[in-house]
Amino acid sequence: MIKTLNILGQPSRDKLSLFVSVGISLFALAIIDVILSSFFEINITSILPRWLNFFTPILFGFVGLHYIRIEFSGNKTLDKLNKNINSNWFNSILTLIIIFVLIKNIPPLLNWLLIDADFVGTSKEECSREGACWIFIKVWIKRLIYGLYPNPEIWRINLSFLMLIGLVISAFFVPIKIKKYIIIFLLFVFPFIAINLISGGNFGLEWVETTAWGGLSLTFIISIFALLFCFPVGMFLALGRRSSAPVIRYSSIGFIEFWRGVPLITVLFMASVMMPMFLPDGTYMDKLVRVIIAITLFEAAYMAEVIRGGLQALPRGQYDAGKSLGMGYWRMHLLVILPQALKLVIPGIANTFLALVKDTPLILVVGLLELVGMIDMAKSNPDWLGFATEGYIFAGIVFWIICYSMSRYSQFLERKYKTDR
């Protein structure tokens, strides 16, 4: 194919302006042809046979990209473009196909999502049905965020999350000596304050059953508590799996392999149904607590394997250096080994955290209604039948924002600690 194109002229730096001008013109002609035929039913190549009309934009675009593909042109933008999407003829075809698919699909999608969508109103009768009915999200937004939590008490959830955000933000700007106290407060004090504030029953606050908790706030509560607890548990399991003591090593291996071999939905079912059977008579453990414990143990097994990978990546000399300084086992691991090991596996830790957040909708099987569960309840309401698509798109956008934010933060940590060195 490349030899055939050579007849038209092999692009070179000697005639850079000419080849780039011709290439851009042909590529632009291909894009304009697709736009006109898709939205205005105007075919600028109507004189050609119909079967050839379909391939004409691809041919124009392919030849245009071929003329632009000049190695070491001296133009940084052009070189970067060629490197990423136009490095060879196969990538050129893929680039054209993707661009044409986007041109044909994005405008109708935008019409449905925004242009023809309904935003104002209070009932489904005010939805035109030509576009998305975001009135559904507007009416149910409070339930999607707070679940069945009593409206007069919602301030307690807001206050808990504002405290968490304030503590996390302050940890980035205070000196290191103060930062460690904030971290200790976050790990060991704040969880009890938040739980007592949200559940109530103390200090004159009304008691709210955990069955009333739900929506996005429940997703955050389960994710945050599971993250706080699964990380130290996974760290100890990783150290135990590498321990020289047979009892500790084989116990850690058995624990990790057991939880990795059982699906999370089974773990949640056992936590909801089976765990109360093993408790002493008269002992009651709330369903939400059982679910958090189950998710924590499940994710801790995967976290342990990620951290173990970082421990194995360290050279033996690091252990010898710690011992030569007279450090004991725990002091050596706390000050020398774990900081280096954790730095190496930041992407794996972030991936485990993301998996945990996206696994929270599974708690629906035990009767807890987080964001997706509340959407299922809302779409089953007789007054709002047929609007499930808008609900699931809203949930998808929320989960994407959460996961993308965590991903960007993990990349920031990688750059900060220079994990590529």
Tens-place pLDDT, residues 53-68: 667 777 778 888 877 7
pLDDT at 4: 47
pLDDT above 70 coverage of the chain, percent: 92
219 and 106 share one domain: no
* pLDDT tier, 42 (very low <50, low <70, confident <90, very high otherwise): confident
pLDDT surpassing 60 at residue 6: no
Positive or negative torsion for Cα 277, 281, 287, 290: negative
Q: What residue numbers bound the domain in which 346 lies?
A: 135-149+208-417
91 and 141 share one domain: no
User: Which of 414, 377, 374 shows the shortest CA–CA distance to 398?
Assistant: 374
The mean pLDDT of the chain is: 84
276 and 371 share one domain: yes
Total number of domains in the chain: 2
- Give the count of beta carbons closer than 10 Å to the beta carbon of residue 394: 19
93 and 213 share one domain: no
50 and 143 share one domain: no
pLDDT surpassing 70 at residue 252: yes
User: Which of 157, 216, 161, 220 shows the shortest CA–CA distance to 375?
Assistant: 216
376 and 253 share one domain: yes
Q: Give the contacts of 215 (CB within 8 A, at least 6 positions apart).
A: 143, 144, 145, 146, 147, 149, 369, 370, 371, 374
pLDDT at 49: 66
199-251 residue pLDDT tens: 888 888 889 988 889 899 999 999 988 988 899 999 999 999 988 889 999 99
pLDDT at 415: 86
pLDDT at 233: 92
Look at residue 181 and tell me if it is in a domain.
Answer: no
376-392 residue pLDDT tens: 998 888 888 888 888 99
pLDDT at 251: 93
Mean pLDDT, range 158-187, rounded to an integer? 86
Whether residue 360 contacts residue 353, with contact meaning beta carbons closer than 8 Å, is answered with no
Cα 235 from Cα 12, distance rounded (Å)? 57
Report pTM. Answer: 0.81
User: Which of 215, 197, 238 shows the shortest CA–CA distance to 370?
Assistant: 215
Look at residue 158 and tell me if it is in a domain.
Answer: no
259 and 357 share one domain: yes
pLDDT above 90 coverage of the chain, percent: 21
Name the amino acid, one letter, at 371.
Answer: L
Of 70-74, 216-220, 368-372, the one with minimum mean pLDDT is 70-74
215 and 104 share one domain: no
Look at residue 164 and tell me if it is in a domain.
Answer: no
